[in-house]
Amino acid sequence: MHFRKKKLKKSILWTLTIILLFLLLGWSTLYTDNIPVFHFLKDKFNQIEAKIQAPFTGNSDISFDLALSREKDQEIENLKKLLDLKTTLSRFSIVYATSIYRNVDYFNESITLDKGSDDGIAKDMAVVTELGLVGKIDRVMAHSSELKLLTAQDGMQLSVVVNSSETSFYGVLSEYQRTTDSFLVTGIPATANVQVGDTVTTSGLGGIFPAGIYIGTVSACQNDAFGITKNIQIKANQDFNHLKYVAILKKEETPL
């Protein structure tokens, strides 16, 4: 019983305090010219408000605009380089596409593009950027298509050529290793003179990827456990997590 009375007194005290606070605030709005305490509190409130609003006003707007401008400039530069592929890959009919959706599922890493069968896109067409091969078309709809990335974990394999200073060696790009952010190439003899920095391109074997498309460079090389073949790690220049503009290679143009 004593506890309830004590609690009731405390509630009444809080209620009176709140009422008194509102009366003081109301009175202060009418008579604020000669009240230093009010001005002090008002100044402090204004300082706090200015700090809260600082990230959204003033110099932050300039910083945001500069960052946005740099991002746009970078996108324009990347797009120009992509358009230059028309010269370096003149033997192909090229369709440029933009990513509109990203599937980040570990076993089915893919990107939806804004070009489809109405644009002449078909399954298994190679897809590249100015930095090399990124994957192939896996599914096609009328106005969109699905790009299956080389980094997909469901077993995409392709025949490649490791171009050393002496000769070229054929192997298989068998998997993407997330821990090292590199691709594994197998099937090359242990006696092959493969060096770090050698370039790797598609071989054209298998009937899907055309020959000569750049993939990356050798970043590490060692013999397998049996000493029969080499395990070669390939580092691509691509940022597969931020693909926006790509080029779809429709077909090789036959010379007249």
Alpha-carbon distance 230 to 184, whole Å? 10
Alpha-carbon distance 111 to 244, whole Å? 9
Alpha-carbon distance 65 to 70, whole Å? 9
Q: What is the pLDDT of residues 102-145, one digit of tens each?
A: 876 655 688 999 999 999 999 999 999 888 999 999 999 999 99
Residue whose entry in the numeric block shows the structure tokens 């090292």: 180
Model confidence band, residue 166 (pLDDT cutoffs 50, 70, 90): confident
Calculate the CA 167 to chain-centre distance.
35
Model confidence band, residue 163 (pLDDT cutoffs 50, 70, 90): very high
- In the predicted model, is pLDDT for residue 30 greater than 60? no
Residues 6 or more apart in contact with residue 183 via CB below 8 angstroms: 150, 173, 175, 176, 177, 215, 216, 233, 234, 235, 236
Q: Which position has the higher pLDDT, 26 or 133?
A: 133
Inter-residue contact 238 to 194 (CB < 8 Å):
no
Q: Which one, of 93, 211, 113, 103, lies nearest residue 163 by Cα?
A: 211
For residue 201, the model assigns a pLDDT of 93
Query: Where is average pLDDT lowest: 97-106, 117-126, 167-176?
Result: 97-106
Calculate the CA 217 to chain-centre distance.
21
Q: Please count the other Cβ atoms lying within 10 Å of the Cβ belonging to residue 86.
A: 13
List of domains in the chain: 72-150+242-252 (2.40.10.340), 158-235 (2.40.10.350)
For residue 149, the model assigns a pLDDT of 93
Q: Please count the other Cβ atoms lying within 10 Å of the Cβ belonging to residue 119.
A: 18
Q: Which position has the higher pLDDT, 50 or 218?
A: 218
Alpha-carbon distance 169 to 234, whole Å? 14
Is the overall model pTM greater than 0.85, yes or no? Answer: no
| Average pLDDT score over the chain | 77
- In the predicted model, is pLDDT for residue 242 greater than 70? yes
Alpha-carbon distance 175 to 158, whole Å? 10
- In the predicted model, is pLDDT for residue 167 greater than 80? yes
> For the chain, what is the largest distance between any 2 Cα atoms, rounded to a whole number of angstroms?
105
Which runs of E-coded beta strand occur in 9-131?
Answer: 92-103, 110-113, 126-129
Model confidence band, residue 11 (pLDDT cutoffs 50, 70, 90): low
Alpha-carbon distance 67 to 56, whole Å? 15
Inter-residue contact 243 to 83 (CB < 8 Å):
no
Contacts 24+ apart (CB under 8 A), 196-200: 196/220, 196/221, 198/162, 198/163, 198/164, 198/165, 199/162, 199/163, 200/160, 200/161, 200/162, 200/163, 200/173, 200/234
Q: What is the pLDDT of residues 181-198, one digit of tens each?
A: 999 999 999 999 999 999
